[in-house]
Chain A
């Protein structure tokens, strides 16, 4: 478990280093490394396992960086995080960095979950409502989740608005148990 505040410290340093304008690109790059770690056990092993020498690690990272076109600053940051032994907490660092970036840009990240894809007019209505609700520009991530059955589920920061049928059924179940 990472120490409280530690992830935030590196997230802040990362943003300061790459600059606020380049942040979306840098975050996407660093996220691709994180996803690669989640997908490939060998890659994760390479970064974490102390059996590998640091030169070996550096060489492989360099090759990977070239193939996926990582910027120099991101590569240096990753190397530094590996040296500190915090690479396993990269997802937490990314999460905080994203939040910090959005805060600085006065934007809100919203996750919208629906069972089927929603139409353009709905999307526009949703964006205007969410703008009003959060008082910020919104950046929407759409997730299709058929298990919701119907309705819509919106996550803004740490608040969740749930009008999905799945959620309604859960509420109904709780109500029936309570009685």
Chain B
């Protein structure tokens, strides 16, 4: 049905608003543009401008003060710099950068300052928040104590992530970094965790593909995408992660759990380097400015688990940093590694060796550890990471040795099967109870007598069997969250019963 718009009604509303409009003197503080170019502007005057205050340029371009100098200020522009010319008058707004927050943003794609770019109409946000704020203090926090289930076997078992943790995902290009994040977001559908996916400096095609995938797997309903693609000016790419974090903080501060993914922070550092050089800040190592560490540390510090007195909400951060030729000792890489509570290192060799997700068990850690895992998972996978790391080393040496002792051979055989078991297809996150059952089968040695090639088939069959026949066992595992003698016996029985019918 078409909505009938009556021009009289509209003019009546406008007339009423205009009658209320009082004539007043517009007093504003102004400056004069003396230089514009490459997304930055220098403004003469404006004696009382504040750091990170928004400025009103002609043609509706907005800028943000980043340098305060003796007679002038330098600002970055969130818009086309071609619309501004030397001598233009710039006004102070007295406001600092803020963006819309709230549940109204869920399912939407917005730009770095929260304006919708998905063509689904305006966002009626009830609340706006400052973009760059200080992280919560010590008193407001509590240690991480609840797991964030990624649905990825290799991560949930070996490198568990807790709600409120910062876990870096690091690796070369094309090793499946973004795929890990997307899988994690898809898995939060059942977990009640709101997700914010922040795309910085990526191609627009990547953005479109991501939206497509998330919509296909029904994950957009609990997700906000904040995008500053490669074609957007550097200031937008610089500010986008802070906006995404602010949107996540709304959920955290309102007793909810949120996950914010930054894809990726090396591109943000590039954008910040560009800005800083244009603003004539002194360059330091690799031409990054001196405060590039602070750029990331103040962002990632905002991820936190709040204390019960403050509602016990949480904001988990999963930043991505790209490496070049597997070198994790680069400047930005080591910075972010030292800020986060652990890293997941993805390797090209493993990826092309068919081990996907291509997680290097030796170099990946989670410094929160056991507190972020349910007890049952800790029981079955406690030593898995170390065992796998040892297996990798052993396998390298075993290539030279002709005859090995029995224990070593057994360890190698077990390792091959565990690697096989931890492989997982994309977009199919797995519930934690099923993960436990599978890893239990592996670590208890039930797979040792199966051919390596049949592990995948075993996994599929066993899961189908459990879903059909062992619903009560799955339920019990979910509720108890710990494997006692009784449950262990039941699980062993389930595996052995299935194995009898399984034809490798």
Contacts and interface: CB of A to CB of B under 8 A. Distances in A.
Interface of A: 1, 3-5, 7-8, 91-92, 95-96, 155, 157-163, 167-168, 171-172, 175-176, 179
B292 to A, nearest CB: 22
B30 A172 contact: no
B69 A5 contact: yes
Contacts, number: 64
B70 interface: yes
B25 A162 contact: yes
| Contact residues on B (Cβ < 8 Å of other chain), bracket | 20 to 34
A68 B361 CA distance: 80
A169 to B, nearest CB: 10
A88 to B, nearest CB: 11
Given A96-B71, A158-B45, A167-B26, 13 more contacts: A1-B35, A1-B42, A5-B69, A8-B71, A157-B45, A158-B46, A160-B91, A161-B25, A161-B27, A162-B28, A163-B26, A171-B21, A176-B17
20 contacts: A1-B35, A1-B280, A5-B69, A5-B70, A8-B70, A91-B34, A92-B44, A95-B44, A155-B30, A158-B47, A158-B48, A159-B27, A160-B89, A161-B25, A162-B26, A163-B23, A163-B25, A171-B21, A172-B18, A175-B17
B241 interface: no
A29 B18 CA distance: 50
Interface of B: 14, 17-18, 21, 23-32, 34-35, 42, 44-48, 69-72, 89, 91, 280
Contact of B31 (A4, A7, A8, A158): A158
Contact of A3 (B21, B46, B280): B280
A158 B27 CA distance: 11
A83 to B, nearest CB: 22
Contacts of A157: 45, 47
A179 B24 CA distance: 18
B19 to A, nearest CB: 11
Contacts of B18: 172
A4 B45 CA distance: 13
B42 A159 contact: no
A4 B29 contact: no
B30 A158 contact: yes
A91 to B, nearest CB: 8
A18 B25 CA distance: 40
A83 B339 CA distance: 49
A120 B280 CA distance: 48
Contacts of B89: 160
B340 to A, nearest CB: 36
Contacts of A155: 30
A179 B29 CA distance: 25
Contacts of A3: 280
B29 A159 contact: yes
Contacts of B29: 158-160
Given A1-B280, A92-B34, A96-B71, A172 B21 contact: yes
Contacts of B34: 91-92
